[in-house]
């Protein structure tokens, strides 16, 4: 059976068992700061397990895109060297949200795997593990399904802490978790390995194919296991592993899906498809994670998700280089990926060109990084005392220039140097600590969100209204009351406050009742609850109290102008630059709007003007903004743009502006008519990552203020050049021209002065055994200027040996030159090595010209004296 057929059979089987087929979610988890990438099928249902979100169904089945690189469940370093580690893989899953539990989960899995109608696997080849204390699951397997006890294994807390077990699954340090039962396939005794729980379990004979997790707890950061509102089921089966079983191969890399990727990789690199197997597997694996991550909106960068992507691309490039790739090759494999997986994941097809360009740019940049790193390393080696490259140098190269440590190691070996690996590790550790304290991915999302019930949002219709306090929190802990002066979080049953989402910031304002005022500084969402963050100014606030909620309407209105203008800008960008433009992020507050989108080159000033004009024309058109609630399919059929990383419910809100000029799915708050925006002004355009541009703009009063400031600055500039608004440009032009002339004159004067110095110096040359020898101190010139001077002196002397040295920024700079007629006997490089050693440094170069330096300025005269002795001995 082909992988695609297995995927389809799985989804169909569970549909027949009453499950709703749900599309894979984005690799960028929506609204979940605890997670770097989607790493399991259950991620998109996290809130359903926690009881925070209700869906129209209680049974679901998916084929989920997963990336396990960086964060918990990180497989990156193993990829290529084992038969089944991947950075990207597909997880087939079935889920129950408080519907069925252990019995059905187990019998469904068994039926799908063994029944003749489905996968028809031989029962005697299947082994099962259960959590040691889970008698219920053990009994279902042995008594009801009939798995013999000799193929059942109980596994306890085998990883050194309570609940740390191969048979206890957790999404992360916090969040939903529970005991699990795993199904293993025995690939046969021709492969080494033992059953799960045995000392040989790490072999490749017995392979876990399906994990059924019985979700029972929510673990919070304090380690407490809170029972979930309803026990649930989360299962996961790696598509690649089950394909290997059904295609009678042991390694995932031998399945149909990987064959074409391995071939395409070999072709792009220009090697045989069997060469350096591990490296080829790395490349074939990495093209999947890179392709899918870029399609989901990640771009290579130096932090967070972008940094992980960058590391994966670079790892692929290095392995390609190992196999002899010349120039960029990685992006050439994208076409094969699209051919293989584009039918199941259409985003690959629509984003193919974007993925290729991002990868190509990143490859080219990495090639430059390598070159630059090599240069920096050369400089550091020139100053090196001893034979060990210090940890800080290796770390600087690695961290700042992206220069991998193994490459530094290769170069060190060539020069008989060694690496201070411990020092490097120390720097890495310090870096990790800095990253951990700065990272948002460790937030304890759950400590705040144990909120019963949901908040109803009333803020589309107005900016005030009453609500009942459902819950209060202080420092992340639920409390019954807040008193004056305390900071905290208030949850209401209904609120007009917009909670931050879709790029629009949360509302601010206040909650009030008799003698009570709570200042709301921000509003965010946790599951279905809206959290009002702020401080209680006066009075005391209890759970159950009724308060009047008042949003700061003018801030909300300014934000609305920016949000609506963002939609117009998005539509205008697609009209002017092309349909490839898609939103990669946005931020809308009351001061300005920021819009990131995919596009590969800087936008020309004239294009920016057209964009601005188009948006302003829509504003002047003053059409009504239409809002319609409908289901997602109808919305898409109307051409509504859905945004990456957003999680849409069953009902969506479609926002139409300019009678169809812009149609977008959006939950934000907007203006009533486009004319309300008043004026739109772009204030900057630039690149934020490869293939992603950013536009910042202002609207309404802010736009007017921006133009007024510009007007003031123009007036000030005019008065500085003693001109007026009308002739300021001419005046500035004249000043610049004068400046250019003065610079030219200065250059000529400098050249004259240098030539005079040259004449003076030339006359101080002495004869040593018939060779004109000139050694002189010239302070304050850098290496380049000294080189020019030595060149000049060579011409003046006609034949001779020159050594110039000086102190520049407390460092000694040395340049030596020998005229061609003498280089057979006297080499500038040799002279330099001797002279530089005197000032505690290094140097070298060609026989006719050499450079060097050192740090001991007190011994410069001694170094210069070397010249005469050198000629004396050499002639």
Nearer to ligand SER, 236 or 404 (CB): 236
Q: How many CB atoms lie within 10 A of CB 361?
A: 18
CA distance 682 to 699: 9
Nearer to ligand SER, 49 or 597 (CB): 49
Nearer to ligand SER, 108 or 169 (CB): 169
Cβ 20 vs Cβ 102: under 8 Å: no
Check whether 290 is labelled as a binding-site residue.
no
Q: Are strands 509-513 and 206-219 parallel, antiparallel or unpaired?
A: unpaired
Shortest reach from residue 205's CB to ligand SER, in Å? 21
Check whether 319 is labelled as a binding-site residue.
no
Check whether 508 is labelled as a binding-site residue.
no
Shortest reach from residue 521's CB to ligand SER, in Å? 37
With CA atoms as reference, report the closest residue to 739 among 725, 726, 731: 731
Task: Write out the H or E segment, with its range, that includes residue 763.
Answer: helix 728-763
Mapping DSSP to helix (H, G, I), strand (E, B) and coil, where does residue 821 land?
helix
Nearer to ligand SER, 234 or 347 (CB): 234
Q: How many CB atoms lie within 10 A of CB 213?
A: 28
Mapping DSSP to helix (H, G, I), strand (E, B) and coil, where does residue 102 land?
helix
Nearer to ligand SER, 180 or 831 (CB): 180
Mapping DSSP to helix (H, G, I), strand (E, B) and coil, where does residue 861 land?
helix
Shortest reach from residue 143's CB to ligand SER, in Å? 24
Q: Give me the count of residues in the chain.
A: 875
Nearer to ligand SER, 60 or 213 (CB): 213
- Work out the angle at residue 324's Cα, subtended by the Cα atoms of residues 321 and 328, and round it to the nearest 5 degrees: 55
Shortest reach from residue 247's CB to ligand SER, in Å? 22
Shortest reach from residue 44's CB to ligand SER, in Å? 12
Cross-strand bridge partners of residue 93: 62
Cross-strand bridge partners of residue 697: 593, 682
Shortest reach from residue 210's CB to ligand SER, in Å? 9
Residue 565 burial (10 A CB sphere; 0-12, 13-18, 19+): buried
Contact residues for ligand SER, defined by CB under 6 A: 40-42, 93, 169, 211, 213, 234-236
Nearer to ligand SER, 169 or 424 (CB): 169
CA distance 234 to 247: 26
Shortest reach from residue 368's CB to ligand SER, in Å? 39
Cβ 303 vs Cβ 440: under 8 Å: no
Q: At what angle do helices 304-322 and 256-269 cross, to 10 degrees?
A: 70
With CA atoms as reference, report the closest residue to 626 among 675, 670, 590: 670
Task: Write out the H or E segment, with its range, that includes residue 222.
Answer: none
CB nearest ligand SER: which residue?
236
Shortest reach from residue 128's CB to ligand SER, in Å? 15
Nearer to ligand SER, 182 or 296 (CB): 182
- What sections of 807-859 are H helices per DSSP? 828-838
Shortest reach from residue 67's CB to ligand SER, in Å? 12
Buried b (16+ CB within 10 A) or exposed e, 170-199: bbbebbbbbbbbbbbbbbeeeeebebbbee
Check whether 666 is labelled as a binding-site residue.
yes
- What sections of 647-721 are H helices per DSSP? 700-720
Cβ 293 vs Cβ 336: under 8 Å: no
CA distance 495 to 457: 5
Shortest reach from residue 783's CB to ligand SER, in Å? 59
Nearer to ligand SER, 211 or 408 (CB): 211
> Which residues contact residue 396 at a Cβ distance below 8 angstroms, ignoring those fewer than 6 apart?
376
Q: How far apart are the first and last CA of the chain?
A: 83
Shortest reach from residue 235's CB to ligand SER, in Å? 5
Determine the distance from the C-alpha atom of residue 31 to the mean position of all C-alpha atoms in its chain, rounded to a whole number.
Answer: 16
Which one-letter DSSP state was computed for residue 592?
-
Question: Annotated binding site: which residue ranges?
Answer: 563, 567, 666, 670
Question: Annotated binding site for Zn(2+): which residue ranges?
Answer: 563, 567, 666, 670
């Amino acid at each position: 059976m082909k992988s695609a057929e297995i995927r389809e059979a799985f989804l169909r089987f569970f549909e027949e068992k009453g499950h709703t087929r749900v599309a894979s979610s984005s690799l960028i988890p929506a609204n979940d700061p605890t997670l770097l990438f989607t790493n399991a099928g259950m991620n998109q249902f996290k809130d359903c397990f926690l009881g925070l979100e209700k869906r129209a169904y209680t049974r679901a089945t998916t084929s989920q895109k997963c990336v396990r690189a960086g964060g918990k469940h990180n497989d990156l370093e193993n990829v290529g060297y084992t038969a089944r580690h991947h950075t990207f893989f597909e997880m087939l899953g079935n889920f129950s949200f408080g519907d069925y539990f252990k019995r059905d989960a187990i019998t469904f899995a068994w039926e799908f795997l063994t029944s003749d109608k489905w996968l028809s696997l031989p029962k005697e080849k299947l082994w099962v593990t259960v959590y040691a204390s889970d008698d219920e699951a053990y009994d279902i397997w042995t008594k009801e399904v009939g798995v013999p006890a000799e193929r059942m294994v109980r596994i306890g807390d085998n990883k050194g802490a309570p609940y740390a077990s191969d048979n206890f699954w957790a999404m992360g340090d916090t969040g939903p978790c529970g005991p699990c039962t795993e199904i293993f396939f025995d690939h046969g005794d021709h492969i080494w390995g033992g059953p799960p729980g045995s000392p040989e379990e790490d072999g490749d004979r017995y392979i876990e194919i399906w994990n059924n997790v019985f979700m029972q707890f929510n673990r919070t950061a304090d380690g407490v296991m809170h029972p979930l509102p309803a026990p649930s089921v989360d299962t996961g089966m790696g598509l690649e592993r089950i394909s290997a079983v059904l295609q009678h191969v042991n390694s995932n890399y031998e399945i149909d899906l990987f064959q074409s990727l391995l071939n395409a990789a070999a072709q792009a690199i220009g090697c045989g498809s069997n060469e350096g197997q591990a490296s080829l597997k790395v490349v074939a694996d990495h093209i999947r994670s890179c392709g899918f991550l870029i399609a989901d909106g990640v771009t290579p960068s130096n932090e967070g998700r972008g940094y992980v992507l960058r590391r994966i691309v670079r790892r692929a490039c290095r392995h390609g280089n190992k196999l002899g790739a010349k120039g960029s090759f990685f992006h050439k494999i994208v076409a094969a990926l699209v051919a293989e997986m584009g039918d199941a994941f259409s985003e690959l097809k629509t984003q193919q060109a974007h993925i290729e360009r991002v990868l190509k740019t990143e490859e080219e940049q990495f090639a430059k990084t390598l070159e630059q790193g090599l240069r920096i390393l050369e400089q550091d080696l020139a100053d090196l005392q001893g034979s060990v490259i210090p940890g800080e140098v290796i770390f600087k190269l690695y961290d700042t220039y992206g220069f991998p440590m193994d490459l530094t190691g290769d170069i060190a070996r060539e020069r008989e140097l060694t690496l201070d690996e411990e020092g490097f590790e120390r720097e890495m550790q310090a870096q990790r600590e800095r990253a951990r304290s700065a990272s948002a991915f460790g937030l304890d999302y759950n400590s705040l969100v144990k909120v019963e019930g949901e908040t109803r949002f009333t803020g589309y219709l107005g900016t005030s209204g009453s609500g009942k306090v459902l819950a209060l929190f202080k420092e992340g802990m639920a409390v019954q009351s807040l008193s004056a002066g305390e900071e905290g979080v208030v949850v209401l049953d209904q609120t007009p406050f917009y909670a931050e989402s879709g790029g629009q910031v949360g509302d601010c304002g206040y909650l009030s009742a008799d003698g009570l005022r709570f200042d709301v500084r921000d509003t965010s969402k946790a599951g279905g609850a809206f959290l009002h963050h702020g401080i209680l100014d006066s009075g005391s606030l209890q759970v159950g109290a009724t308060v009047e909620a008042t949003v700061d309407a003018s801030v909300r209105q300014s934000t609305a102008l920016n949000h609506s203008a963002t939609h117009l800008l998005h539509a205008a960008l697609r009209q002017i630059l092309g349909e490839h433009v898609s939103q990669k992020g946005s931020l809308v507050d009351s001061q300005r709007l920021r819009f990131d989108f995919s596009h590969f080159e800087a936008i020309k000033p004239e294009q920016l003007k057209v964009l601005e004009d188009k948006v302003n024309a829509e504003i002047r058109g003053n059409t009504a903004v239409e809002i319609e609630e409908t289901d997602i399919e109808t919305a898409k059929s109307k051409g509504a743009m859905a945004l990456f990383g957003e999680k849409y419910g069953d009902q969506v809100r479609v926002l139409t502006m300019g009678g169809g000029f812009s149609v977008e799915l959006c939950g934000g708050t907007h203006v009533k008519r486009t004319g309300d925006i008043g004026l739109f002004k772009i204030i900057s355009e630039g690149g934020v990552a490869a293939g992603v541009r950013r536009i910042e703009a202002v609207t309404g009063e802010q736009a007017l203020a921006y133009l007024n400031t510009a007007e003031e600055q123009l007036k000030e500039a005019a008065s500085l050049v003693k001109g007026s608004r009308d002739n300021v440009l001419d005046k500035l032009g004249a000043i610049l021209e004068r400046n250019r002339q003065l610079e030219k004159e200065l250059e000529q004067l400098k050249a004259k002065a240098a030539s005079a110095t040259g004449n003076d110096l030339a006359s101080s040359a002495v004869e040593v055994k018939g060779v004109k020898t000139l050694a002189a101190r010239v302070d304050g010139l850098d290496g380049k200027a000294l080189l020019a001077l030595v060149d000049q002196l060579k011409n003046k002397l006609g034949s001779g040996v020159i050594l110039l040295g000086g102190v520049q920024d407390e460092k000694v700079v040395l340049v030596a030159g020998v005229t061609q007629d003498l280089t057979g006997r006297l080499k500038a490089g040799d002279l330099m090595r001797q002279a530089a050693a005197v000032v505690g440094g290094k140097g070298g170069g060609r026989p006719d010209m050499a450079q060097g330096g050192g740090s001991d300025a007190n011994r410069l005269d001694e170094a210069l004296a070397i010249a005469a002795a050198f000629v004396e001995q050499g002639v």
